[in-house]
Amino acid sequence: MENNGNDYGIRIDSYRAGDDYVFLITGGEAHVGAVACAYWHEGEVRSETISVPGHREGELVKELAESAATKLRHRAVVIMGIHIDHATKQDIAQIIALVHEKMKAALESAGR
């Protein structure tokens, strides 16, 4: 899928699972590339990450899940799959910035 205007089709859907939170982040051609779960254990946030081989979302989902668990003080799962054909380094930098911006807004909404 090609660049969809200036937002690459980045979308974050959030769900509640009891007291916990799930964030599904997709863009371009949606898929599951990586999943991270962050949780509180003995006063600190810990996380587990699973990445599908060949996908690069692992570090970003870990960072976002830990940030969400820290802000929301509950378990947070982030599932991400973003695929943009022929993405340049500039595209990737813009996508990461958009994901951070949209996740910040999603966390503000979730925390209310």
For the stretch 34-60, pLDDT in tens is 999 999 999 999 999 999 999 999 999
Determine the pLDDT at residue 111. Answer: 77
Q: What is the mean pLDDT of residues 19-45?
A: 96
- When pLDDT is cut at 50, 70 and 90, the band that residue 5 belongs to is low
- pTM (predicted TM-score): 0.92
Give the Cα separation of 27 and 95 in Å (integer). Answer: 9
- When pLDDT is cut at 50, 70 and 90, the band that residue 2 belongs to is very low
